Amino acid sequence: MSLHAAYDPDNIFAKIIRGEMPCVKVYEDDDILSFMDIFPQTEGHCLVIPKAAGATNLLDAPAEMLGTVIAGTQRIARAVAASLKPDGVRIAQFNGAPAGQTVYHLHFHILPVYEGRAVAAHENAGPAATGELKALAEKIRAAL
């Protein structure tokens, strides 16, 4: 998809926000939703998205939306760090297919990084068991 493509209101994240698709929720308020990535690159990989529709990526998001989503990403990343005790935390955000974006709704990845453990490539991560994701989400929620 082009870097400047129109927003598709039927993308998977829009469906998750509307409750049409399931997710393993970490946090939700009026503005953002955080949930576990079902294709985790590392243990504890979660996503933070704005609940408002319209922003395909960072380049077309209004500044006030970015402020809210970045603040939410920081809050969730702190909870990931406190609960899962990684050696580092990677925050990733992709804009356009050539950059690695696969879902065209603005989103941020929070990837706990553990020394001695590989981080799977974004396009090569396999699906995780729902029970494992729920247990990780519960740990992260407890640190919020």
Q: Which residues are catalytic?
A: 107
- Return the amino acid letter for 138: E
Alpha-carbon gap, residue 126 to 21, rounded angstroms: 19
8 Å CB contact between 45 and 114? no
Q: For 58, which DSSP code?
A: G
Positive or negative, the CA dihedral 45, 51, 56, 60 is: negative
